[in-house]
Amino acid sequence: MITQPTTGAGRTKRSSALLAGLVAALALTAAIGDSRQALAGNAVDTGAPAAPLILKQRANVAGDQVYLSDLFTNVPFTQDMAISDAPAPGSTLAFSARQLSHITRQAKLYWAPSDPNQGTVVTRDSQSIPMSVVERAISGAIAEQYIGGDFDVSVFERSLDLHVPAGEDLQVIVSNLDFDARSNRFRATLTAAGASGRQVEVAGRVEAMVDLPVLNRHMMPGEIIAERDIAWQRVSTRRATTTAISQLGELVGQTPRRPIASGQPIRMTDVVPDYLVQKGDVVTILLQNGKMTLTARGSALQRGARGDVIRVRNSQSRRTVEAQVASPDTVIVRPAQYAQIR
């Protein structure tokens, strides 16, 4: 077979075919690259996190709003957002599985509940207002609007659901105060300052208070009560009866009639004077008139404490004189009765 030499026209056709094939290959490569870039761009736009979202069973927030990152871990920073107002201090806010699914879809994130009943509860970081703060606020309002003097307030409801946000001052606002002076009862509305207007209705009693002298240690009959044995204690007037000792001078120098415990209000009948002289005791009768001093022996006809004036019979003259008790065995007669001492 004889091969014919290639003419110029044939070479031109063959070169054109090769060039067309090369252009087609380059176009296909570019199309594949564009497709890969488009797929990569779509993957970025989905906002899928690098790690799966994990739901927290309970969440505690400090601010006024609840964020997506408060409920889930692994929330991308750029997709975190506020989803709700925070609950009032001391209150809770629950999110169901359906609500959580809706919230994550809005954030262009994927989360599916493992259980239809799955959910989470959010609490507000807060501090409870102590009863002492509540009673002090009510006392101030009663003193300003109704009565003065020393009194205490006791609230019947011993557990109040009053909270303020963590870090804020513990303050209570008292309103709608109604006090009945005949029964010493009150009613009021309490609002925790900064707690979104949360209100609590309370009732209680007002007790007048008084300071009374009491023993600071247990004392037995025969012991003499000195000032160092006494302390002052604030007690309600219900415990301070009309017979209770209220003055220091009514207690100093006395001795218990029966054992007295420390810290208890003391009645007048609980103590007796320290009798230095008992009826029938032999005593020395002393008369001092200027530089002259006369003495005589006598017998006490009455018992008497220091400073008491008792009747004493002169053992020699058998006359009765009035003399002041000075010590356990000495009484002092007044000069006007000088003749009777002889």
Same domain for 249 and 285?
Answer: no
Same domain, 117 and 78: yes
Examine the domain organization and report whether 148 and 186 are in the same domain: yes
**Domain extent for 165:** 131-209
CATH number reported for the structural domain that contains residue 255 in this entry = 3.90.1210
Same domain assignment for residues 232 and 286: no
Name residue, tokens 């309970």.
58
Is 205 part of a structural domain of the chain? yes
Half-sphere exposure at residue 58, Cβ-oriented, CA atoms within 13 angstroms: 5
Q: Nearest CA to 174 among 155, 187, 190, 158?
A: 190
* Domain end residue (candidates: 226, 253, 272): 272
| 87: nearest Cα among 57, 115, 65 | 65
Tell me whether residue 21 is in a domain: no
Domain boundary among 124, 150, 175: 124
Q: How far apart are CA 244 and CA 233, in angstroms?
A: 13
The helix (H) or strand (E) run that includes residue 144 is helix 131-145
The two counts, helices (H) then strands (E), for the chain are 5, 23
Predicted structure pTM score: 0.55
Domain match, 137 and 204 both: yes
3-state secondary structure (DSSP) of residue 336: helix
Domains held by the chain: number: 4
- Of 236, 254, 272, the residue that ends a domain is 272
Q: Is residue 78 part of a domain?
A: yes
pLDDT by residue for the chain (342 residues), tens digit each?
334 444 444 444 444 554 455 445 444 444 444 443 443 334 344 444 458 999 999 999 988 899 999 999 999 999 999 999 998 887 889 999 999 999 999 999 999 998 889 999 999 888 888 888 999 999 999 999 998 889 999 999 877 878 888 777 888 889 999 999 899 999 999 988 765 657 889 999 999 999 999 999 999 998 999 999 999 999 888 878 888 999 999 999 899 999 999 999 999 999 998 888 999 999 999 988 777 888 899 999 999 988 889 999 999 889 999 999 998 899 998 766 655 555
230 and 279 housed in the same domain = no
